[in-house]
Amino acid sequence: MNELLYADGTDAGLRLDVWLSDQFESLSRSYLQKLLKEGRVLTEGEALKASYRLRGNEVFSVDVPEPVPLEVPAEDIPLDILYEDGDLIFVNKPRGMVVHPAAGHATGTLVNALLFHCRGELSGINGVSRPGIVHRIDRDTSGVLVACKTDAAHRSAAEQFAAHSITRRYYAICHGVFDTPAGTVDAPLGRSKTDRKKMAVVPDGKRAVTHYRVVDQTEKYALVCLELETGRTHQIRVHMTQLGHPLLGDTVYGNRPNPFHIQAQMLHAAVLGLSHPADGRRITCTAALPEDFTEALNKTGLRVPDGPL
């Protein structure tokens, strides 16, 4: 589908990706940036970059691909639903469940379950394999995740994630004793220079900020509450390792002795909050600690937190 858009003199000076997001209410800014990278936005036959500044009185041709028929099967997989309405659905994802289909995980994912439960009524902005998905948490991380049922809701949620206005609170069991009860890690993250499958603190990476607070600790382990200001891939796992406190069970970034034979990193997305795309009211959902996390706390001698997460 080819769209012709006109920018008048009052638009001069605006970044192209910002201006485009105002023209396409149903498309997220990240999706429009993807179209720009693919050379699908042109003026006078020239493909433009996201950072292009409008001169005003220009005509742009935007090639928006037609939606591809959805081929991901809907599967009747039980969901722990924390909140649901016509725009959003918050679920408590169990540890071990992949969020969306990918190589080696064509079925059994959260997307397969959502397609069945929502009867296909999910946003299509992120393509056929990730309908409704605005953000992800690792397969071996449990906890709250939000999905969107409409493109308008998806766009609103994506903008809130980009603006870092989402509330995201995690619990983690870490190795070692913290010298200070609370602090902040502000260290840029990017692909590791030595292992492209891993993330690392790199000078030219994207800014990543994690606030942490020690809830309880013993001579060897600590229960830590973490608040994300940004949401980079593997942010908590890398930042805690950078501090010298890798997560218990994390074989990718930690590689510390694991006397309890725990098979996955002890990380739980406990709280997720955002402003509702329809009326702006704050929706905050909490997922109780899963049984395996509580068992790990007992094994390490850490107390199970009482009261609100």
- Domains of the chain (ranges plus CATH)? 2-63 (3.10.290.10), 81-162 (3.30.2350.10), 167-300 (3.30.2350.10)
Residue that wins the pLDDT comparison between 247 and 125: 247
Phi, psi values for residue 295, rounded to 5°: -65, -40
Contact status, residue 290 vs residue 144, Cβ threshold 8 Å: no
Predicted model pTM: 0.78
Contact status, residue 256 vs residue 270, Cβ threshold 8 Å: no
Question: 180 CB contacts (<8 Å, ≥6 apart)?
Answer: none
Please report which helix (H) or strand (E) contains residue 273, including its range: strand 267-275
**Tokens describing residue 233:** 């891939």
At 194-235, the pLDDT tens digits run 887 889 999 988 899 999 999 999 999 999 999 999 988 999
- What does the pLDDT read at residue 308? 62
- Across the chain, mean pLDDT equals 91
- What does the pLDDT read at residue 26? 65
Contact status, residue 14 vs residue 50, Cβ threshold 8 Å: no
Question: 189 CB contacts (<8 Å, ≥6 apart)?
Answer: 199, 200, 201, 202, 205, 206, 208, 232, 233, 234, 235, 238
At 99-122, the pLDDT tens digits run 988 767 889 999 999 999 999 899
**With pLDDT > 70 as the criterion, what percentage of the chain qualifies?**
96
Q: Which of 98, 106, 111, 96 is nearest to 147 (CA)?
A: 111
Phi, psi values for residue 103, rounded to 5°: -55, 125
- What does the pLDDT read at residue 309? 66
State the pLDDT confidence band at 25, using cuts at 50, 70 and 90.
low
> Does residue 158 carry a pLDDT above 80?
yes
Let me know if 138 is a catalytic residue: yes
**Tokens describing residue 287:** 């997922």
- What does the pLDDT read at residue 75? 95
State the pLDDT confidence band at 305, using cuts at 50, 70 and 90.
confident
Spot the catalytic one: 11, 17, 87, 138.
138
Contact status, residue 287 vs residue 144, Cβ threshold 8 Å: yes
- The rounded distance, in Å, linking the Cα atoms of 145 and 134 is 9
- What does the pLDDT read at residue 84? 98
- The rounded distance, in Å, linking the Cα atoms of 12 and 10 is 6
- What does the pLDDT read at residue 237? 97
Least confident of 10-14, 33-37, 51-55, 94-98: 10-14
At 28-74, the pLDDT tens digits run 778 889 999 999 999 988 999 999 999 988 889 999 887 655 578 99
At 163-196, the pLDDT tens digits run 899 999 999 999 999 999 999 999 999 888 888 7
Residue that wins the pLDDT comparison between 4 and 46: 46
